[in-house]
Amino acid sequence: MGKPRGFIEYLRELPLDRSALERIGDWNEFHQHLPEAKLRQQGARCMDCGIPFCHTGTLLNGMASGCPIHNLIPEWNDLVYRGLWKEALQRLHKTNNFPDFTGRVCPAPCEGSCVLGINAPPVTIKNIEYAIVERGWAEGWVQPEPPKVRTGRKVAVVGSGPAGLCAAAQLNKAGHSVTLFERADRIGGLLMYGIPNMKLDKENVVMRRVRQLEAEGVKMLTNTEVGVNYPARDLMKEFDAVVLCTGATKARDLPVKGRELKGVHFAMEFLAANTRSLLDRHRNGNFISAKGRDVMVIGGGDTGTDCVGTSMRQDCRSLIQLEILPRPPADRAANNPWPEWPKIYRLDYGQEEAAAKFGADPRVYLTTAKEFIGDSHGQVKEVLTVQIQWERNEKGLFTPKEVPGTEQVRPAQLVLLAMGFLGPEQPLLEALGLERDPRSNIKAPFDQYTTNLKGVFAAGDCRRGQSLVVWAFNEGRGAARECDRYLMGRTDLP
């Protein structure tokens, strides 16, 4: 450790984002950067804490605590402090195939469990991670590294989201011939079409990693949906092993009166179509536009925030976001101690933009939609909302109950449902005859990833349910390790 009193001498500093009103005028990434001297000071705040909870990577009270891929955070913080950037990148890549992605979109559970965070602002781990990998690209340190020897084994990875990309990268590193199947027109899954461009640039960030994997020998098939235009049974005939990373893309619906009206969409319909049109330079024009409309986003989390940010850039007329849960407290509650993820009030980028334009945080808490009201053309024009309160039912579980007399009609010509996901889509799973758990996910033990079919593995959201991108990285790498062990009888993959 290079600076024993760094956490006392230096305050936490983050680079300023571009102003909210400026950035809603384009689709470019909005984060700015700290100069090297400041970054080294931030690295010096890492306090040699003895037990670095930041990379424990466990679940506490149902949420991630520490880094699920066990990034060697204290090591590369110290290397950054010393100015040893290339060595820091090597330590970062040891556990993380794509830190350019996590440095942008991971919610940083590592910072939530930083020991310094017990009584002071935590170390800026995510920002330092981002700075390390971007320095690596700028200096030319990130280069394709194809395996020196091929094993002769062929592996299919189905789904090119974060779990699929990590699985493909690791299996290819082990020398297997990997084919990556993607049903969309571009590689990346959630990273390409589920996260907007202003959070994760597609051409300059996602595609540079895709090109790196191609140069390393990974074969990529787009517009290829296994079970539709590629027979599911052919997987078992043509490949020695299969890793399924299809995600949890079955969205949770809101089956209230008027759900069939035009203008009521799942969040991913909205986000994916917008990103595809943006990448096609708007030549197809086939996207859902919020321009000039009153927008209602139902649901929170990252997906809800991304709907808010996208609507702001499309120049919506007004925006409201319904949250069925109560507003979180400003500070940790007594039942949310460190090192759990801090469930506190945050103004994320989308809500910050809406507040800058419309004057207030757009979120309305303890409120849900009761009915969608349409016009004479079958287009949604208003939403009947109602406040709720949480009460215990006869089984002792908290359930939402309507508060009588709190109904309110609100204008909305575009409604976006961002209420999470129920699990993977089932047709492929049924075609392969895969066992599923009670939540409809593929049944495969954690850290083994083996299904009921010999040589078929499952990882990521299709196995564990909707989760963080960094858990997808954990599972993609883990499934690759177990697949390599199956193929070779042993493995050197971590």
Phi, psi for 55 (deg, rounded to 5): -115, 25
Residues contacting residue 176 through CB under 8 Å, at least 6 positions apart = 150, 151, 153, 154, 155, 484, 487
Q: What's residue 285's pLDDT?
A: 72
Phi, psi for 238 (deg, rounded to 5): -95, -15
What architecture does CATH give domain 253-419?
A: 3-Layer(bba) Sandwich (3.50)
Q: What's residue 199's pLDDT?
A: 97
Write out the chain's pLDDT in tens, 494 residues.
Answer: 668 899 999 999 999 999 999 999 999 999 999 999 999 999 999 988 989 999 999 999 988 999 999 999 999 999 999 999 999 999 999 999 999 999 999 999 999 999 999 999 999 999 999 999 999 999 999 999 999 999 999 999 999 999 999 999 999 999 999 999 999 999 999 999 999 999 999 999 999 999 999 999 999 999 999 999 999 999 989 999 999 999 999 999 999 999 999 999 999 999 999 999 999 987 767 899 999 999 999 999 999 999 999 999 999 999 999 999 999 999 999 999 999 999 999 999 999 999 999 999 999 999 999 999 999 999 999 999 999 999 999 888 999 999 999 999 999 999 999 999 999 999 999 999 999 999 999 999 999 999 999 999 999 999 999 999 999 999 999 999 999 999 999 999 99
CA distances 485 to 40, 93, 157, 221, 344, Å, are: 40, 22, 16, 25, 42
Domains of the chain, by residue range, sit at 6-139, 154-249+422-488, 253-419
Q: What's residue 258's pLDDT?
A: 98
The topology (CATH level 3) of 154-249+422-488 is: FAD/NAD(P)-binding domain (3.50.50)
Task: Please report the DSSP string for 410-424 in residue order.
Answer: EE-SEEEE---EEE-
Q: Position 88: which residue type?
A: A
Distance (Å, whole) CA 71 – CA 88: 11
Q: What's residue 1's pLDDT?
A: 66
Dig out the tokens for 307 from the structure: 């709907």
Q: What CATH number should be reported for the domain whose range is 6-139?
A: 1.10.1060.10
Q: What's residue 247's pLDDT?
A: 97
321-353 burial by CB neighbour count: b if 16+ within 10 A, else e? bbbbeeebeeebeeebebbbbbbeeeebbbbbb
Dig out the tokens for 130 from the structure: 């981002």
- Topology alike, domains 154-249+422-488 and 253-419: yes
Which residues share a beta bridge with 156? 179, 242
Distance (Å, whole) CA 272 – CA 287: 8
Say if residue 114 is exposed, middle or buried (CB neighbours under 10 Å; 0-12, 13-18, 19+).
buried
For helices 469-488 and 162-173, angle between their N-to-C axes, nearest 10 degrees: 30
Task: Please report the DSSP string for 144-181 in residue order.
Answer: ----SS--S-EEEEE--SHHHHHHHHHHHHTT-EEEEE
